[in-house]
Structures are given as C-alpha cells and as structure tokens.
Amino acid sequence: MLKLKNVSKYYYQDGVVAKGLSNVNLELHLGEFVVITGESGSGKSTLLNVLSGLDTYEDGEMYINGEETSHYTEEDYLNYRRNYVSNIFQNFNLVNSYTVFENIELAFLMNGYKRSDIKDKVNDLINKVGLKKYKNTHASKLSGGEKQRVAIARALANNTPIIVADEPTGSLDSIASQKVLDILHDISKEKLVIIVTHNKNEVLKYATRLIKMHDGRVLENKIIENINLDQNLKSIDVKDITWFNKIKLGFRNAFNLPIKFLLMVAIFLLIIVNLITNYGSFKKSEYEEVKGYSNIFNNISDKRIIINKKNKKSFDQNDYDKITNIKGIDYLVIDDVLNEYNLNLEGDYIYLNGNLYLKEINNVSKGKIPENDNEIVIIGNKENYYLKENELLNKEFIISDLNQKVKIVGLLYDDNYNEYNIDFFVNDELKNNILLNTMKYYNNITYQINNVTYYDLNVIPNSNVNKGEVYISEYVNNIFTNCLNKKLDIKIENIYYNENLSFNIKEIYDNNNIHKLLNIDEKENDFNIYINYEDYNNLFNKGNYQSSVFVKDIKDLENVISDLEKMDLNVLSLRNAKIDETEMISSLYNIFKLIVTIVLVVTMFFITYFIIRIIYKSRNSYYTTLRTLGSSKKVCISILMNELIILASFTYVLFIAFVILIKTNIINYEYFKNIIKYVYIKDYLIVYLILIIMAILISFRYGRKIFKDSVIKTYKETI
Ligand code: ADP
Ligand code: MG
C-alpha cells in the first residue's frame, strides 16, 4: 500500500516558489493499474517522482506499507527505490552504446546478480517484450517503440512491486504505444503499475483507477475496478553489484565508445610520454659529462673510477674477477698508470697527442686492426680534421719519449668524442713497453754509489745486462771515480711499498762501446744506467696496487661506486675528483631546470585532468541511468574508477611495449632511446602510480558531482 496524506511539494527557482503538488491525498494498492492524466504542468510528473522516491516533498506524509517517510534520508530513498520501484521514462533512458541484452543485463548487475544467473533471465525478458531478434542490436539502432519495450524489460528485471511510467508512450506512434501498453497491462496483475499519460483513451480499457490532476491538485480520483489485494507491497531482495561485475562494466565502458576510447588513450599517452621524457631529459642533463680539469690525472673521463685495496696489498686475479662481475662496469684497466700516459706522435709536419685507448677493439672504420707491435689505430670523431681526410692512414710516426717507430693502420670513428680529442689503440706489447717506461715516474728513487746519494740518474731495463749488474756511463764514472765493481744501491719508495736493491757496477759505457754492450745505436743521456729486466720488475713492478674501472654509463656510477666500496677498496671517482669552476653556475642551472620541469608536469597534470573531466561530462546520462537502476554513489564511483584504471593501464602497456621495441632496437628512435636510458623501473612505476591517482581523483570528483542533486534534477539536466 502506498499512501499520500496532504502531501505538498514546492519548487524553488530563482527565488520564486512554484507549487508542484498541493494537499494530495491518495491510497494505491497492489494489483492496480493507475492512470494519471491532466494537462501539461498540472503536476503529473511531480506526483510520480514523489511516489517513486526520485524527488522529495515538503508537507504532509507519504506512507509505504504504513511506514512514515518524512524522516527519510537520501540513503533511505535509495533503498526504497531499489526495493520497491522501477521507472520507465518517456525518453527511455537507455544506454545507447549497449546492446538490448546489455541494457537489460545492467539492471540485474546493479542488483548483485551473478553472471551465471543473469543470462536466462535476460533472454526471458527479451522474449516477453518481443525483441528476440534485436538481442544483440545496439539500443541506438532501435525505433522508439522498441526502445520503450527494452526499457520495460529492464524495469521488470528486478521484479519490484511498483512500476512507474511517466508518459511511456509520449513519443511513440499509436501501434507502438499499444504494444507497450499491452505489456504493461500484462504485468500489472501482481504489481502496482502507475502510468502518466496525456492520451487517456488508449489506456482507459486497462485502467483500474483514473486520477486527474490540475494545478498540483487531484481533481478526480475515480476507481474503475475495485482491486484491493489487501497485501503489503513486498520488498525485493537486493544486493550490491559484485566486484567482478564492476570490473566487467569497467571493461565494457572503457572500450565500447570508440571515440571516447581513442581520446582517452591519446590523453593518457600524452601524460605518460610527457612525464617520462621530461624526467628522462632532466636525468640525462644531470648525468652528462661535467666539464672540469685535473692537475693530477691525465684521463679525466667521468666514467673512470680509480681503486686500490684498503689494506695496501696488491690485487690478485680473484679480486679482478669479483670486480669485473659488478653490474654496470664496462671494462677494467689493471695497470692504472696507462691511463695517465699521454702518447705523443711526431711525424712529418704533424704532431698528434692523445690518451691510450684501453678497451679492446673488434673492428675499425677504415684500414685494419693492428697485427704487429708497431701498428696503431686512432679513435676519434668522424668530423675530426685528420680523421675526415684519411690522410693519417698508413703514415709513420715516432713515439717521442720511447723513440719508437709506429704506423697508423686503422681509424675508428666514435661519436662520443669531440672534434679535437683522439685516443690511440696499441697492441699489448707496445702497451707493456710504455708501462715499463712510465712506472718509475710514480716512485721516489734514490741512487747511492759509495754511500753518496745521487738523484739524477735514470734507470732503464736492458736485456743485455745480467741480473744483479748495472752499466753506468763514463761521465758518471768520472764523477764518482773508479766505480767499476763497486756497489750501486737503488732505493725506491711509493705509496704502496719500499724496495732496496744492490747492484754491482759491471761495465762503463761510452759512445764507442754502447752498441756492443747494450745494442743501442748512440748514447742518449749520460745519466742513463742500465739494469736487467727482472731486476727492473723487482723494483717497479711488484704487483698491481692500483687499477681503474670504467662504467658503461654515467648513470651506473653511483651503484658501481657503492659496490666497489663494499669490497673494502678505496674508491676515487674522477667525476667527483675534478676541479670545476662552473660547478656553482651549473648547479643553479640544474635547480632552475628542476623547477621548470616540475611546473611543466604539474600544469600538464591539471590540463589533462580538466580535459578528462570535460570528456566525462558526456557520460552524465549513463551514470544517471545507473542511479535510476539503484546504483549508489559508491558503486558509480567504483565503476568509473575501474573504467579509468583500465584505460590508463591499457595505454600504459602500449607505452611500455613501445619502450621495449625501442630498447631492443626493433624501432630505431635514437632521440627517445637516449632519454629513456636514464629512466629506471622505479620511475616507470611512479608514472603508473600517478595515472592511477589521477583516475581515482577524477572518479571521486565526478561521483560527488553526479550525486549532488536528486536523480530527477540530474536527469533533467542531462536530457
Ligand atoms: P506535468 O508533468 O503534469 O506536465 P510537472 O509535474 O512536470 O507537470 O510540473 C508541475 C509544476 O511544477 C509546473 O508548473 C512546473 O513548471 C513546475 N516544475 C516542475 N519541475 C520543476 C523544477 N525542477 N523546478 C521548478 N519548477 C518545476
Ligand atoms: Mg510531465
């Protein structure tokens, strides 16, 4: 039983009060087919909306099964509608992008039915309203009469005791109207059907009660057939939509409107690409090699890290194996002093200067890989003047301080070099030779003859000299007088060890006998003294105390340093050891860049946020429909949230696939590849998190907006 007692409703608009209903008294029962007529503006819809809980009233009292409703909250009304009422609207209120099946299914889903239970019920209803062959047709493709039959089927889905229809035939022709009314009549036996019409003739044959409205009042309340089943309206059993079905609807809504789908993918893609490229470029500029110089080191590459053992012992193979296993290390230079060697080549009118290239090379751009000891390769930028002209290829040079002839047999182009810098790749033998000749410069050496200390001598290894012997020049012999067979002590000191060896002065050389004694063409320097190779190594080459590792990428620097430090090594990164006078300016510049990036990203976030909100305005009718089907605010929000999260994730997966294609070089896009090199998995996850947060924020805001007004107001705004 549904009863109104002196119910009045007012509309407030622009400060004016309009009367919707005044002092309406009515009592409606199960089994009735109530027809409400009256001219336009007489209050028919208002009465219907109050009866069906879509709108509130101000005065009087409405009783549901005898229970007062004036204290009802929004939630109470929601429950009343869900438990008792189904609505049919003049303009159908279907979801146009859904099929007939999906539209009817929606009513079941909103009331917590399980997937398996729904299918047969929906098919039964489709048959009942005679739309079997349109089952999979989109609602937008149907005629008005067919649409209204879908709406009726949907209203019947939940088997509520009250069916309310506001001008259901208002926009139908007479044949379609008749069909709709027949169905409504058919179902009215165990229900309370209330319909509003302006054409009472077409319904008169079914009506059991006729109500005529005028100016918000009930002018006539005529019982045509006395039906009083004398039963309470029986509330149906409703549950909330299952989480599975919420996700299912999220998927359906994400993909079923192609234009909205593409727009959303484009927008999410815009956000992702923007965030990633901004972040990546920022990181990249941070990692780019910093300028600077060093008074101590020759090779000042930012990728270089110098290491030695904290216990001052020499490295062994085990150490090197562990070091080379560290992730991010490109290569290891065991003999660190090679890094400090600056190779000078003198040739006809050309003078070249560069560092040793200490990585292996497998191919050259021009010429060939060295095979012999005296063959070398030059590495540098393609735009380098000498390399560009190829004029160096097959030219012979002399290594200044070794007095050794070499020939350039290959050129290797590398974009990482600037136009002026070059490196030299040499064979192991030459490398070793350089090592022997340079090592002594890292030691404090004192020479003693007859207990007199002398600093200016220069010890050189020579294979003609026997172990334990030393050859000195006639000049030195003259200074100390009669040195032959006397003792010469060499004492060396470096940061890792001290060594002291005693030699027997075996020969005195001069210009005449130097070739015979030492196989040297002519005397170079009076201060040169010659010892055996083994002795030389015993003095200067007692093991490796200091090495350098080079990282693959500057971004690996920090990780490699911390891994090395864990191995009980002293670690010096060249990047941090350089002197850089522009540091202050560049760090200010970096802060400025960071601020600009953040502002850009935040602006972007809000722009896209508002675009998405505008796109979702067009979804108001959909969510209002859900609301009329008994969906709470919470349910609406979570369905929208699912949809947005699915769209965001879909776009995100697309983007990640694109990143993988670029990283694996299947797509060749150098610019982007260079940027994403600096973006870690952690950063990708943060971007995803931002998308999800956006989806959640939008859903909540949207939900609040949709539920701000009563159903009927929102509904009116959307049509
Ligand atoms: P009917 O359905 O019989 O045409 P309504 O119930 O829609 O009539 O309207 C009854 C009266 O209430 C009319 O005077 C109408 O102008 C007024 N009215 C209806 N809805 C609103 C509203 N949302 N705001 C202000 N006035 C309204
Ligand atoms: Mg109306």
What is the whole-number distance in angstroms between the Cα of residue 47 and the centre of ligand 1? 10
Q: Is the pLDDT of residue 41 over 60?
A: yes
CA 147, distance to chain mean position in Å, is 44
Residue 16, ligand 1, Cβ within 6 A: no
Q: What is the pLDDT of residue 380?
A: 92
Tell me the per-residue pLDDT of 422-442, one tens digit each, with 9 for 90 and over.
Answer: 999 999 989 988 988 888 888
Q: Is the pLDDT of residue 571 over 90?
A: yes
- Which range is most confident: 174-178, 257-261, 412-416? 257-261
Q: Which of 380, 391, 410, 403 is nearest to 349 (CA)?
A: 391
Q: Is the pLDDT of residue 373 over 70?
A: yes
Q: What is the pLDDT of residue 408?
A: 94
Q: What is the pLDDT of residue 34?
A: 94
Residue 18, ligand 1, Cβ within 6 A: yes
Residue 615 CA to residue 647 CA, distance in Å, equals 14
Closest CA to ligand 1's atom 17 = 20
| Token pair listed for 692 | 């999800």
Q: What is the pLDDT of residue 163?
A: 94
Closest CA to ligand 1's atom 5 = 43
Residue 54 CA to residue 46 CA, distance in Å, equals 9
Which ligand is nearest the CA of 38, by number? 1
Residue 243, ligand 1, Cβ within 6 A: no
Let me know: does 178 contact 149? Beta carbons within 8 Å. Answer: no
Mean per-residue pLDDT for 236-242?
A: 88
Q: Which atom of ligand 1 is nearest to the CA of 39?
A: 3
Q: Is the pLDDT of residue 264 over 90?
A: yes
Let me know: does 336 contact 574? Beta carbons within 8 Å. Answer: no
Residue 642 CA to residue 209 CA, distance in Å, equals 46
Which of 46, 194, 709, 719 is the pocket-test mutation for ligand 1 (most atoms within 8 Å of CB)? 46
Question: Model confidence at 295, in pLDDT bands (50, 70, 90)?
Answer: confident
What is the whole-number distance in angstroms between the Cα of residue 166 and the centre of ligand 2? 7
Q: Which atom of ligand 1 is nearest to the CA of 44?
A: 3
Let me know: does 645 contact 708? Beta carbons within 8 Å. Answer: no
CB atoms within 10 A of CB 140: 11
Tell me the per-residue pLDDT of 682-708, one tens digit each, with 9 for 90 and over.
Answer: 999 999 999 999 899 989 988 888 888
| Token pair listed for 674 | 């260079």
Residue 367, ligand 1, Cβ within 6 A: no
In 282-292, which positions are buried (b, 16+ CB within 10 angstroms) versus exposed (e)? bbbeebeeeeb
Residue 197, ligand 1, Cβ within 6 A: no
Q: Which amino acid is located at 453 in the chain?
A: T
What is the whole-number distance in angstroms between the Cα of residue 43 and the centre of ligand 2? 7
pTM of the model: 0.70
Mean per-residue pLDDT for 258-280?
A: 91
| CA neighbours closer than 13 Å in the CB half-sphere of residue 106 | 35
What is the whole-number distance in angstroms between the Cα of residue 66 and the centre of ligand 2? 27
Residue ranges of domains in the chain: 2-238, 245-286+584-718, 304-330+545-579, 336-436, 443-540
Cα-Cα-Cα-Cα torsion 62, 67, 70, 76, nearest 10 degrees, comes to: -110
What is the whole-number distance in angstroms between the Cα of residue 164 and the centre of ligand 2? 13
Q: What is the pLDDT of residue 38?
A: 92
What is the whole-number distance in angstroms between the Cα of residue 170 and the centre of ligand 1? 17
Closest CA to ligand 1's atom 21 = 11
What is the whole-number distance in angstroms between the Cα of residue 45 and the centre of ligand 2? 4
What is the whole-number distance in angstroms between the Cα of residue 20 and the centre of ligand 1? 6
Q: Which atom of ligand 1 is nearest to the CA of 42?
A: 3
**Per residue, what are the HEC states of 214-235?**
ECCEEEEEEECCCCCCCCCCCC
Q: Which of 75, 82, 74, 47 is nearest to 62 (CA)?
A: 47
Share of the chain above pLDDT 70, in %: 97
What is the whole-number distance in angstroms between the Cα of residue 713 and the centre of ligand 2? 13
Closest CA to ligand 1's atom 26 = 11
What is the whole-number distance in angstroms between the Cα of residue 45 and the centre of ligand 1? 7
| Token pair listed for 536 | 């030389």
Residue 48, ligand 1, Cβ within 6 A: no
Residue 46, ligand 1, Cβ within 6 A: yes
| Token pair listed for 198 | 């302006």
**Per residue, what are the HEC states of 109-124?**
HHCCCCHHHHHHHHHH
Mean per-residue pLDDT for 604-615?
A: 84
What is the whole-number distance in angstroms between the Cα of residue 212 and the centre of ligand 1? 16
What is the whole-number distance in angstroms between the Cα of residue 412 and the centre of ligand 2? 85
| Token pair listed for 441 | 């410069």
Closest CA to ligand 1's atom 22 = 11
Which of 11, 19, 167, 218 is the pocket-test mutation for ligand 1 (most atoms within 8 Å of CB)? 11
**Per residue, what are the HEC states of 500-568?**
EEEEEEEEEECCCCHHHHHCCCCCCCCCEEEECHHHHHHHHCCCCCEEEEEECCHHHHHHHHHHHHHCC
Q: What is the pLDDT of residue 238?
A: 84
In this predicted structure, which of 110-114, 376-380, 602-606, 659-663 has the lowest mean pLDDT?
602-606
Q: What is the pLDDT of residue 532?
A: 93
With the C-alpha atoms ordered 204, 207, 210, 211, is the resulting torsion angle positive or negative? Answer: negative
How far, in Å, are 421, 513, 626 from residue 619 at the CA level? 62, 103, 11
Mean pLDDT for the chain overall: 89
Residue 115 CA to residue 109 CA, distance in Å, equals 8
Q: What is the pLDDT of residue 309?
A: 92
Q: Is the pLDDT of residue 586 over 90?
A: no
What is the whole-number distance in angstroms between the Cα of residue 491 and the centre of ligand 1? 111
Q: What is the pLDDT of residue 673?
A: 87
Residue 337 CA to residue 333 CA, distance in Å, equals 9
Closest CA to ligand 1's atom 16 = 41
User: Which residues make beta-bridge pairs with 487?
Assistant: 504
DSSP calls for 434-471:
HHHHHHGGGSEEEEEETTEEE---EEEE-TTSPTTEEE
Tell me the per-residue pLDDT of 142-160, one tens digit each, with 9 for 90 and over.
Answer: 999 899 999 999 999 988 9
Q: What is the pLDDT of residue 638?
A: 95
Q: What is the pLDDT of residue 401?
A: 81
Q: Which of 474, 484, 473, 457 is nearest to 539 (CA)?
A: 457
Which ligand is nearest the CA of 12, by number? 1
Closest CA to ligand 1's atom 24 = 11
Mean per-residue pLDDT for 411-420?
A: 85
**Per residue, what are the HEC states of 392-414?**
CCCCEEEECCCCEEEEEEEEEEC
Question: Which burial class, exposed, middle or buried, applies to 296 when counting CB atoms under 10 A from its CB (0-12, 13-18, 19+)?
Answer: exposed
Residue 84 CA to residue 160 CA, distance in Å, equals 5
Residue 596, ligand 1, Cβ within 6 A: no
Q: Return all residues near 296 (Cβ < 8 A) that are at least 6 apart.
A: 577
Q: What is the pLDDT of residue 583?
A: 66
Mean per-residue pLDDT for 615-638?
A: 89
Residue 13, ligand 1, Cβ within 6 A: yes
User: What CATH topology corresponds to 2-238?
Assistant: Rossmann fold (3.40.50)
Q: What is the pLDDT of residue 13?
A: 79
Residue 38, ligand 1, Cβ within 6 A: yes
Q: What is the pLDDT of residue 718?
A: 54
CA geometry: angle 442, 296, 347, nearest 5 deg? 80
Residue 691 CA to residue 647 CA, distance in Å, equals 10
Question: Model confidence at 483, in pLDDT bands (50, 70, 90)?
Answer: confident
Q: What is the pLDDT of residue 161?
A: 93
| Token pair listed for 715 | 């509904």
Residue 651 CA to residue 665 CA, distance in Å, equals 21
Let me know: does 192 contact 2? Beta carbons within 8 Å. Answer: yes
Q: What is the pLDDT of residue 404?
A: 87
Q: Which amino acid is located at 363 in the chain?
A: N
Mean per-residue pLDDT for 238-253?
A: 93
